[in-house]
Structure formats: structure tokens, C-alpha cells
């Protein structure tokens, strides 16, 4: 069996979840953002966090879908000391990121946890964001980078008074990064400059970018007491694969699990006591349904390290590229 399969199979068939809503501590007093919380695993994430008392902001691109989801959650969760609110964001349109942060800032002074969850898995080849980025990279990585940058001061404020390791940014990867869709050596700036033609490669590269950005951010904000960590939520029965060809969906359905399990992986990364500042800095990677990846790809781990530390420095260069390209909307 290939090394990629050895790494992927445990993530596709991780057994029953052991960290569930029953293990989530009280979240009252916390302010949390979930991007894409109106559907899929993000919906369950919002619901569980709201149920546990958090004030949750659902950052979504569709007002009607978000309001419908919020009404459903509030109907099902009849008692919570928290709140659940919608703010508009379209990660495929950079001009919506700063207004979303401004709408948040008008209501809050701190942010305890940011779940960079929203994403797309498939799009017609050649699709682009409003500002011309390759659509998967733009939606799944470049816009979340800008959002995180703009929210940083709110995370720093929360970290000043929160218990150690409790203020976190959770990024979203995928089992696909184990595969050859991410070429040996990993994502490089050249992939950003000249995007691949294939949807799967672009998806896999966008998810690799999330690992890079998680690691780079972890180094930058460790001094502030902010944890930054990446997770693969697991293969889940959600709408994310709807645009993919039917035969791919059929094939993938064999390995798909209930969407709430993906919320458990996020919650392990976002609120469990198992995750610390040092884990993010070490580039550790969370896999379903909340555990550390035991055999991450060495070339990707090398990409997280600078050239001076024996790595390839690709993560640092991708971060710098995102910084430069998004400056105009910051
Ligand atoms: N499901 C899986 O098997 C799987 C595996 C690995 C990783 N993931 C990742 O897990 C995350 C959640 O996916 P899911 O499975 O829950 O999929 P989903 O059901 O399709 O939910 C994705 C969420 O992201 C939102 N979104 C998409 N494009 C957006 C944009 N331009 N701006 C703002 N929000 C946007 C969607 O909004 P709309 O409802 O308006 O479309 C939806 O709320 C994604 O990052 C995905 O790549 C999923």
C-alpha cells in the first residue's frame, strides 16, 4: 500500500467519535466566529457552541440561509445564555471581508475563537473569485487569511484575560492533502501565481495553504497567547461535494460520515484541553474525530520550517504572498 493510503485510511475510517457535545465545557462568556455556519458541519458547530452558552457569530454569504439556520437552531435549543447572530461575508469577494469585521467590531470588543470553516470543494475548472484569484484558493485560503488578520486585535484582547490556551484560530484542511494532488514538496508560491487547471489539485492546494497559514500564524501569535491549529474535519455527508461529478460523489459516499462528526473534530481543536500553544507552533495537525495526526507528510512538515531550520520555507513564502496580495483590502 502506498504511503498516501497509509496516511489517509485512518482519517477516512477513524471509528466512533470519543469527543462529543457531552465533553464540551460551558462556553458562556465566549465570543466565537464560525464562517459558513449555515450548513454542513458548521451548522452543528454553531448549534453546539450556542447550546453551551457561547455568543456565536455565523459569517455566511447568504442572509436567507443564515437566518433560516439561526431560526432552526433557536427553535431546537430553547434555552441558552448565549446568542447566535448573522454577519454577511462572501469569501469569494474580498470587498466583503473588512465590512464583516467592522460589523463584528460594532458589537464586540474581543474574539475568543475563530473557526475558519467555510469552504468549497469543487468548482468548474478555471473559476475565479470576484477579484480574479483561483476560486478554491481564494475562498478556502486567501480570504480566510485576510479575515484572520483583520480579527487579530480582537483575539489579542481576548487572550489578555482568558485562561492559557483558550483563545484559538482553527483552520480547515482535508484528507486530500495526503494525496499526490499536492505534489512532492507541497504548495509553493508558483502554484498561487499560476494556478493548476484541475479542480482537485486546486482544492488540495488550498487545503495545504490552510496548514501553512495555521503554522505561520501560530509562530506570530504565540507571544500573545493565541493558539493557531489546523484540522481535517473528516469525510462527511454534506453539500460540499455536490458540484463534483456523480461518479466521484458515489465513490466518496462509501467513506462519508454524519456532518456532526466534523463539528466534533473542530471542537476538539477549538475547545478541548488537548491543544496548546506549542502544538500549533510545532505544526501539529488534528484528524477525525479529534486526535493528532500520527504520520503527517514529511515534505509538508519541511515546508512549515524556514530554510534556516532545515526546511523549504514554502509556508513563510505563501504567508508573505497572501499578505502582499490582500493588503489592498485590509
Ligand atoms: N465534507 C467533507 O467531506 C469535508 C472534508 C474535508 C474538509 N471539509 C471542509 O470542511 C469545511 C466545511 O464544509 P462542509 O462539508 O460543511 O460543506 P458545506 O455543507 O458545503 O458547507 C460549507 C459552508 O461554507 C460556506 N461557503 C462556501 N463558499 C462561501 C463563500 N464564498 N463565502 C462564505 N461562505 C461560503 C457555505 O455557504 P452556502 O451554504 O451559502 O453555500 C456553507 O455554509 C469546508 O472548508 C470543507 O472544505 C469538508
pLDDT digits (tens, 9 = 90+) for 10-56: 899 999 999 999 999 999 999 999 999 999 999 999 999 999 999 99
Distance 111 CA to ligand 1 centre (A): 22
pLDDT digits (tens, 9 = 90+) for 177-220: 998 899 999 999 999 999 877 888 999 999 999 999 999 999 99
Tell me the average pLDDT across 152-158.
Answer: 98
pLDDT digits (tens, 9 = 90+) for 112-123: 999 999 999 988
Ligand 1 atom closest to 129 (CA): 31
pLDDT digits (tens, 9 = 90+) for 269-279: 999 999 999 99
**Is there a contact between 157 and 109 (Cβ–Cβ < 8 Å)?**
yes
**Is there a contact between 174 and 232 (Cβ–Cβ < 8 Å)?**
yes
Q: Number of structural domains, the chain?
A: 1
Cell numbers describing residue 116: 475558519
- Catalytic residue selected from 203, 261, 264, 285: 203
- CATH of residue 100: 3.40.50.720
Q: Which residues face 128 on adjacent strands?
A: 134
Contacts of 258 (CB under 8 A, 6+ apart): 236, 237
What's the first-to-final CA gap in the chain, in angstroms? 46
Between CA 43 and CA 45 the distance in angstroms is 5
- The parent domain of residue 271 ranges over 3-329
Query: Is residue 207 flagged as an active site residue?
Result: yes
Q: Whose CA is nearest to atom 7 of ligand 1?
A: 174
- Ligand 1 surroundings by CB, under 6 angstroms: 36, 38-42, 60-62, 65, 89-92, 117-121, 139, 172, 174, 232-233, 235-236, 238-240
pTM for this prediction: 0.98
Q: What is the pLDDT of residue 1?
A: 59
Query: Is residue 98 flagged as an active site residue?
Result: no
Q: What is the pLDDT of residue 2?
A: 82
Amino acid at each position: 500500500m502506498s504511503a498516501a493510503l497509509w496516511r489517509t485510511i485512518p482519517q477516512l475510517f477513524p471509528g466512533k467519535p470519543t469527543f462529543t457535545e457531552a465533553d464540551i465545557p460551558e462556553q458562556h462568556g465566549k465570543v466565537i466566529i464560525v464562517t459558513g455556519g449555515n450548513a454542513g458541519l458548521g451548522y452543528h458547530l454553531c448549534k453546539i457552541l450556542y447550546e453551551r452558552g457561547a455568543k456565536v457569530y455565523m459569517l455566511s454569504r447568504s442572509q436567507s440561509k443564515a437566518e433560516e439556520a439561526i431560526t432552526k437552531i433557536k427553535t431546537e435549543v430553547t434555552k441558552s445564555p448565549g446568542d447566535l447572530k448573522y454577519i454577511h461575508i462572501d469569501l469569494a469577494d474580498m470587498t466583503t471581508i473588512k465590512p464583516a469585521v467592522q460589523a463584528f467590531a460594532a458589537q464586540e470588543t474581543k474574539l475568543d475563537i475563530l473557526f475558519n470553516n467555510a469552504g468549497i470543494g469543487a468548482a468548474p475548472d478555471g473559476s475565479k473569485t470576484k477579484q480574479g484569484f483561483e476560486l478554491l484558493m481564494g475562498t478556502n485560503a486567501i480570504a480566510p487569511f485576510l479575515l484572520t488578520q483583520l480579527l487579530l486585535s480582537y483575539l489579542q484582547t481576548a487572550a489578555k484575560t482568558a485562561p492559557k490556551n483558550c483563545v484559538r484560530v482553527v483552520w480547515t484542511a482535508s484528507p486530500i492533502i495526503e494525496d499526490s494532488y499536492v505534489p512532492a514538496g507541497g504548495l509553493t508560491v508558483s502554484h498561487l501565481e499560476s494556478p493548476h487547471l484541475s479542480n482537485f489539485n486546486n482544492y488540495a492546494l488550498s487545503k495545504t495553504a490552510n496548514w501553512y497559514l495555521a503554522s505561520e500564524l501560530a509562530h506570530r501569535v504565540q507571544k500573545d497567547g493565541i493558539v493557531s491549529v489546523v484540522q481535517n474535519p473528516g469525510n462527511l455527508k454534506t453539500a460540499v461535494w455536490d458540484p463534483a461529478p456523480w461518479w466521484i460523489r458515489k465513490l466518496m459516499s462509501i467513506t462519508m460520515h454524519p456532518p456532526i462528526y466534523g463539528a466534533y473534530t473542530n471542537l476538539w481543536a477549538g475547545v478541548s484541553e488537548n491543544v496548546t500553544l506549542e502544538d500549533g507552533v510545532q505544526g501539529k495537525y488534528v484528524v477525525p474525530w479529534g486526535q493528532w495526526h500520527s504520520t503527517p507528510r514529511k515534505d509538508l512538515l519541511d515546508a512549515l520550517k524556514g530554510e534556516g531550520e532545515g526546511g523549504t520555507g514554502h509556508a513563510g513564502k505563501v504567508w508573505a504572498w497572501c499578505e502582499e496580495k490582500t493588503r489592498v483590502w485590509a
